[in-house]
Each structure stands twice: as C-alpha cells, then as structure tokens.
Chains A and B, each alone.
Chain A
Amino acid sequence: MAADTETLDTVQSVTQSGYKWGFETDIEMDIAPKGLNEDIIRLISSRKQEPEWMLAWRLKAFAAWQAMQEPQWARVEHPPIDYQELHYYAAPKKKSDGPKSLDEVDPALLAMYEKLGIPLKERAILAGVDPDSVENRQVAVDAVFDSVSVATTFQETLRKAGVIFCPISEAIREYPDLVQQYLGTVVPVGDNFFAALNSAVFTDGSFVFIPRGVRCPMELSTYFRINTRNTGQFERTLIIAEERSYVSYLEGCTAPQRDENQLHAAVVELVAMDDAQIKYSTVQNWYPGDAEGKGGIYNFVTKRGACRGARSKISWTQVETGSAITWKYPSCVLQGEDSVGEFYSVAVTNSHQQADTGTKMIHVGRGSRSTIVSKGISAGKSNNTYRGLVRMLPGAANARNYTQCDSLLIGDQCGAHTVPYIESRNPTAKVEHEATTSKIAEDQLFYCRQRGLSEEDAVGLIVNGFCKDVLKELPMEFAVEAQKLLAVSLEGSVG
C-alpha cells in the first residue's frame, strides 16, 4: 500500500547516514611526527623546498602564536585542543619527484576524487546544466589532499590568459616576489590565534594571480580533503586581482567520518586593486560529527579581503553545512573609494553542531558600500550564531551598509543568536540592520504535505525558499549542489 512504501522510503532516507563523503582512502602517506615545535616547522619548510625568507616568516608566526591565547568570545564549546597531539604534515608518498601531469597522479587518489564528484580530468563539468546552453563551460580545479596539492587542472589554458593558478607551495618557489609582496598583508601573522598557527604550519592551498585587465576565462576552484587521522589541515589561499581584472573562485571541502575531532585552520587572503572584482564562493561540508555530537571537524578559519583599489569589489558567498564547530568571519576591508563588499551566507546546524559565523565590513574609503545577507538555520540540538561587525571609520564619508539577518528554527531544542556590532565614526555614513527569527510553521508543512510532499521534502522546499537570496549568488553548478546539501543536512530534523 502507498502509505507503507512511503514510510519505508522515509525511514531509509533517514537511516542511510546523512553524510555521504565519510569514506577513507588508503594511500601510502609521508607523515611528520606528532607535535608542534620549531623542528616541525623546519621540516615542513624543507619538505616544501622553501626559500629562507619563508622559513623565517613561519618562525616569526610561531613565536607570535606561542604568546597568544585561544579566543574565548565565540558562542561555541569544546574540550581543550592538545596542539601537541596533531600531525602537522601528511602527504601522499611520492613515487619519484611528484606527478608531472595528471597521468602520473596515484590512481587511488583520482578514484577518490571521482567518487567525490570532483573532476580532475580536464573536461567541462556540467552538473545539472544543459550542455547546449553553456558552451565549453569549464572549471579549473586545484585538489588539496591533507597537506599537499595533488593536482591542478587547466594550468596551461590559464597561463595563456596570463592567469597564475597553482598550489601556493609552488608559487612560493616560482613567484617569490609576488608572494612576498602580498602574503600576510591582509591577515598579518599575528592577527589572531588560529591565523598565527596557520602562518607557522600551513602546508598548501591555492595561489591565484589575475593580471591587469584580464577576465579569468574560467571558474577556479579548490577542493580540500582531509583524509589522514589526527591530522590538522592548514591551508593558505592567496588571490590577487590586479586593476580591472575579474575572477570567480569556488572552494569545497569534505572529510572522512571519524570519532575524534579534527582541526582545520585555514587562512584566505584576497586583494583587489582598482576596478577589480573577486567573487569567492564556499560550500563547506566538512564531516559534522554523528547524531550524538561525536567527532567532526573544528573549522576555525580566517578569511579576509582587502578592497585596496577604487571601485574594487569583493563578494563572499558561503554555504556552511558541515563541521562540528564553525568559527569563521569572511570579511572585507573597504579601503578604496567607492569599493564594495558583499557577504551572503547560509549556515545550517543540525544535531549537536555549533556555528559562530558572520562577517566584518570595515569601511575606510569614501563612498564604500557593503551588503550582508545572512540566513541561519538551526535544527536538532544545535546552536547557530550570527556575529557581525560593521565599522565606519572617520574617512568613510557617505559609506553605506545594509545588513539582513534571518534565522529559521526547526524544532524546539535548537538556538539562534544574532550579535551585531555597529561602530560609526563618520556622521554621513549610513548603517541599516534588519533581523528576523521564524519557525517553520506547522501550517506551511501541512500545506505542502496536503499537496503530496513528504515531510522531508516539505522542509527542504521551505528551507531552500528561505535561503534563496543567498543561493542565487552561487555559480550555477554550486547552487545545484548546495540545494541538495541543504536537504541532506536537515534529514531527520523534523518529526
């Protein structure tokens, strides 16, 4: 009978563990001993064949970190992290000098990325897109596995356009002047506890340079994967957009399902010069822990963009569904006159997940504008906090900010919190803040179910509607993925 089949389907969809990326890959690894000290940093630096200045930079960061305390102000709780119990370097063992081309990459790794749906073959990815409608739509991918980049696609095509897209460890060797000029200028080594830690031990990440007047011919993306047990992942991304250039960059991340917590402390720095635009999109899907709150990734990330040039623009779009704890505030420093900062965020927490996320918009330049749209969704026993700072400095004449924070509660055991900080030191600057909190209404669910939708589908539909203003900012391939992810993350959250 129909009712029985339906029930069976529902039960199946809920019990087939929600996290589909939790498998582990068996790869022979080169792993540094546990613990953090100057020797480990020297080891990382030598494994990466780094120049002397880079090692000195790391050691300076390490000294700063040792004098710092873990921040306590976020609305998150976790047992103390023993930084000496982690591995700070783990890389797939290289057969010779490392793969020269994709053909030389370990087939087990290629198979893993295939399983994750990440194309390391150089072909167009067209998930959910009509191939005829988007001609030759291609995405270049940098794949970071634990501590190292294992493959970067389309490098040749990009080089012809003058774009540099490569692992940051390669950039440090090949483009030292560029890296030295910009690294740490947006997020200084001593910026905060986790940024200092990252600066000391970061192992890989992506480097992007878009020269003057160039519109990057394809979307760039990085997929991060934590695989090895007890490994922290500390990636570093640096994107520089020179005058009148444009780039859209996407990042995605997954990790195996494990009982213990793993630390991920990344730093992302963006620099946009006059009339340059950087669009940075994230779909964060680290392992969130199980239904009882065991395991999961601690995602402690510093992301900041500097709009240095006049009329420059940086947009952050994030869909945060994973991680046991998220501590993340992608920010914009709006130095340039009439520069624009945007932050679009969907943060979903379920079970015992905790998210304390938001943004900082620092208005320095005259006429700078910022928009913040934050959608927080809490279910289960989770806690979801929006924390945002809008600061208008004395020189920010006629600067404007508009902030909209909406929270959606599913069930009665979760929490949603909004903590806006507003500081204005210029009388002509204008700041607007709107906030709403709502529950998925019983009558909305009933209306959908009366039309034949299952409860899970009804929640998915209502939640996607709630997030629409943010999802429409994502590149098309990601928007499709993000919608599915939202539904999966909230499976079993009602009833």
Chain B
Amino acid sequence: MVLSKKLWRTPLDTEKISLPKAEITIQPDLCKGCDFCIEFCPRKVLEKSDQLNKRGIYPPKVADESKCTICGFCAAICPDFAISVTEKKCKEGCEDEK
C-alpha cells in the first residue's frame, strides 16, 4: 500500500530549536573488539574501522556523527570504558548559536 497522504507534519518550532550535536570520543587502544556499540546503536552511527589497533583488532569508528541523538547507549554498554558521548559545545563553526 502506498500512502498518498503525509501522515506527519513539520513541527512549528523547527526553525527556532537547534538540535544538540554529539561528540563521540573513542579510545581505540582500549577497545577489545566486542562490537556491542556497533551492533546495539539504535541509529547505526558506528562501524568497524579498517585500521588495526595496538591489540590487533578492529575498533569502531564513527560513520556519521550527525545521526547520533546522544542516547549514550554505546558508552553505557562498553565493557572497556573506551567510548563516551558528550554534547558538542557550540563555539565557532556551529551555526544557529543561541
């Protein structure tokens, strides 16, 4: 079935509100390569890196940081304290600063 009618509307305050931007910090040498963060990220922000780390495994790397909603599940499920997510502090280069 093809929906001809749009079932959602654009929120009225879209232009006023700026979405928080995520800053994902990965410490590749602490990673042991369990892949929980890649597998359980609800927005599929992370992917496997193509560079080996010190341990000889492929750590995760950020594929698309703009998709991240800062749910922090990757940081919460990481057994090795190798990944953390914070909100990006808006300085220069960050548009619509309020």
Do the two chains belong together in a single complex? no
Interface residues of A (CB under 8 A from B): none
Residues of B within 8 A of A (CB): none
